[in-house]
Amino acid sequence: MVPAHQVAPGLPAAAGRACLRPEPTRPLRRPGFLMQQDIFAALRARTVDALQGLLPELPAEAFSRVVVEPPRDASHGDMATNAAMVVAKLAKLPPPKLAADLSAKLAELPEVAEVAPAGPGFINIRLQPEYLRAQLPVVLAAGEAYGQGAATGHKVNVEYVSANPTGPMHVGHCRGAVVGDALANLLAKAGDAVTKEYYINDAGAQVQALAWAAFWRYLEVAARAGAPGAVLDKLRAEPENGRAIVEAEFGTTLQYGGEYLIPVGEALWAEHGPALMDPTPDTLLAIRHATVAAMMVEIRADLAALGVTHDVFISEAEVVAAGKLEQAEQVLDAKGLMYRGILEPPKGKTPDDWEPREQTLFRATQFGDDTDRPLRKSDGSGTYFANDIANHLHKIERGFDELVHVWGADHGGYVKRMKAAVSALSDSRVSLDVVLTQIVHVLKDGQPVRMSKRAGSYITLADLIDEVGRDAVRFTMLTRKADAQMEFDLNKVVEQSRDNPVFYVQYAHARIRSVLRAAGDPADFAGADLSPLTDAAEMALIRRITTWPRVVEGAAAAREPHRIAFYLNDLAGDFHMLWNRGREDATLRFIRPEEPVATKARLALLAATGAVLRSGLQVMGVTPVEELRDERKGDSAEPG
């Protein structure tokens, strides 16, 4: 395995190196290697250098499409590049000819063991095993920070959850919360400066309806307290008909019947006494504020239980009160993007009460939307869209240059207009990406668990976390592409088997910790001789580890946090495979007292694997476990 040009034949590797190149100050034993966290980026740089040497007349942009990546088929080697094919036509050379020339250059690199042109112009590269092994010290030095990208200079705002503050969070909100939080972590891992943001929709008709419902609960509390009043007498006479009585008495419709507002009613009574008895705009506003505040306390507690913490909470009402809506309209007006006009009725499914109306419209069609969009309701207040435009103007003013949203798929129709607005407001300097999350169907014992907020009975997020544990919730929510429907089986996510990735990945980490503990938790692997790591399973694990930085980069660029979950599952698979090799062949066990050098090398590999697992779990917001308990449920749900 050891190439002849590196080590004198017949000499032990360490001795050979020591004789030929004593460099005690350098931690790396192969100074010729180009060492960085991402060895694919390193080899890409090497490849582009070589190519430029061959084709000095080509401009730098000609090489932008050069990719160095792991080949799909491992038998092709460690890396493959399309370099020859990508620049062939600019260089006016046939790809195979260019591939042959480039291969000869690449073969001279110290990192490279073997180069083979293949197919229509691919170049397959086999790396020096020592170069691959030399990545382990890099990983160990970085620890959980392995995979951390260099600062991109991008200031990114990730807005997610943003559930209406009209009740506790339920499972429907959960996926967006987890995906958003993991995505924000992922972007930070890739080097962006990330702000996690929650937009409180506290300015619309929904929260007004919520205020009425809280008012109802307040009246019921007042009635029970024996306060005087005609309405309260009625409530006392028929306590079971409280809802209908309040609706009839005040000419309103109570949309929110959930019992979670009873404590809010009690708090209102305790603080204000009978002062809120006659609903006026002022009292309703006070009730609204108190109710929204109470709901936000609950929502934040739910989010905390899920391990989600936002940096910024922005209130829609406050954004509007600050005059951002008028300011946004001025900006749009100045650009000639606002006008008074009448929209065509939507085709196919015209609303029953359709009538042509003149409205204040935003020229969204100039930015790729299907129709222009209204900014003002007939009562003069801003539409939700207009308020959101105001919020986005505010974000742009705060200096973000990338905006990311995580929305439920039912908001898919809203994406184009919002992108149009951001383009308009920022003259296309600021980008907006929207990640849509599909519905989660919750199953228990194979049966769908129905959720109905209106009926007041639904699985709350808190219930879900109690049932299966925070880590299982978070991991499972990331085991599908965001934009694919998902079944969340309450039984399966706590199952301890191969087909539950939550368990499988945690199991790998627990096994690693178990071995390292058994070995006395060695902390220092600096200078460890890694040459005993030669088994195919060991090298496969090392190769997987070396791909982690590019997985982070690719997942961040695609805004796809689920890739982290899949990577960890693969990494755990490579590890379990290696573990099992030790069962078949005792010489491949991790701890071999009679072989201290091999033991240390393998422990270094395990420590590095553990670090990458933790690095990935940290992005997902999942706690790596030290050991698996012999309990069937809830072992990852304990507090702390």
Partner RNA sequence: GGACCCGUAGCUCAGCUGGAUAGAGCGCUGCCCUCCGAAGGCAGAGGUCGAAGGUUCGAAUCCUUUCGGGUCCGCCA
* C-alpha to C-alpha distance for 372 and 367, rounded to whole angstroms: 10
Shortest distance in whole angstroms from residue 413 CB to RNA? 3
Closer residue to RNA, CB minimum distance, 511 or 600: 511
Closest alpha carbon to 255 in 461, 455, 460, 458: 455
For the CB of residue 72, give the shortest distance to RNA in the complex, in Å: 4
The C-alpha atoms of residue 223 and residue 416 are separated, in whole angstroms, by: 50
Closer to RNA by Cβ: residue 64 or 485: 485
Pairing, β 312-315 against β 155-159? unpaired
Q: Which helix (H) or strand (E) holds 177?
A: helix 171-189
Q: Which residues pair with 115 in a beta bridge?
A: 125
Q: Which of residues 220 and 560 has its CB atom nearest to RNA in the complex?
A: 560
Are residues 144 and 165 in contact, defined by beta-carbon separation less than 8 angstroms?
Answer: no
Query: Which lies closer to RNA via its Cβ, residue 428 or residue 587?
Result: 587
Nearer to RNA, 272 or 592 (CB): 592
CB of 30 to RNA, least distance (A): 25
Q: How far is the CB of 208 from RNA (least distance, A)?
A: 8
Distances (CA, A) of 20 to 8, 30, 113, 297, 429: 9, 11, 20, 67, 55
Q: How far is the CB of 31 from RNA (least distance, A)?
A: 29
Q: Which is nearer to RNA, 340 or 349 (CB)?
A: 349
| Minimum separation from the CB atom of position 105 to RNA (A) | 17
Q: Please state the closest distance from residue 604 (CB atom) to RNA, in A.
A: 15
Nearer to RNA (CB atom), residue 98 or residue 515: 515
Which is nearer to RNA, 436 or 607 (by Cβ)? 436
Q: How far is the CB of 410 from RNA (least distance, A)?
A: 4
Cβ proximity to RNA: between 74 and 526 the closer is: 74
Q: In angstroms, rounded to a whole number, what is the distance separating the alpha carbons of residues 635 and 503?
A: 11
CA-to-CA distance for 180 and 191, rounded, in angstroms?
A: 17
Helix, strand, coil percentages (3-state) for the chain, rounded to 5, are 50, 10, 35
Strands (E), 371-451: 373-374, 402-408, 431-437, 440-444, 447-448
Distance CA 253, CA 244 (A): 9
Residue among 181 and 388 whose Cβ is closer to RNA: 388
CB of 443 to RNA, least distance (A): 11
Instruction: Provide the token pair at 525.
Output: 């692997």
Q: Closest CB to RNA among 353 and 427? A: 353
Find the DSSP H helices in 241-383.
242-250, 262-272, 281-305, 316-321, 324-334
Residue with smaller CB distance to RNA, 6 or 438: 438
Sign, CA torsion 327/333/339/340: positive
Three-class secondary structure of residue 155 per DSSP = strand
Which string of DSSP letters, residue by residue, matches 219-243?
HHHHHHTT---HHHHHHHH-GGGHH
* DSSP SS3 for 530: coil
Question: Residue 243 CA to chain centroid, in angstroms?
Answer: 42
- Identity of the residue, 6 or 252, whose beta carbon is nearer to RNA in the bound complex: 252
- What's the min distance (Å) between Cβ of 269 and RNA? 27
In the complex, least distance from residue 497 CB atom to RNA, rounded to whole angstroms: 4
Please state, in angstroms and rounded to a whole number, the distance separating the CA atoms of residues 357 and 344: 10
- Encoded tokens for 243: 């809802």
Considering the complex, state which of residue 224 and residue 384 has its C-beta at the smaller distance from RNA. Answer: 384
Q: Shortest Cβ distance from residue 495 to RNA (Å)?
A: 8
Question: What b/e sequence results for 520-557 when a residue is b if at least 16 CB atoms lie within 10 Å of its CB, and e otherwise?
Answer: eeeeebeebbbbbbebebbbbbbbbbbbbbbbbbebbe
The residues facing 69 across adjacent strands are 80
Query: What does the block give as tokens for 376?
Result: 């003002």
Q: Are 68 and 546 in contact (CB under 8 A)?
A: no
Q: Nearest CA to 614 among 481, 492, 513, 470? A: 513
Least gap, CB of 244 to RNA (angstroms): 23
Q: What's the closest the beta carbon of residue 92 comes to RNA, in angstroms? A: 12
- Cα dihedral 363, 365, 367, 370, rounded to 10, equals 140
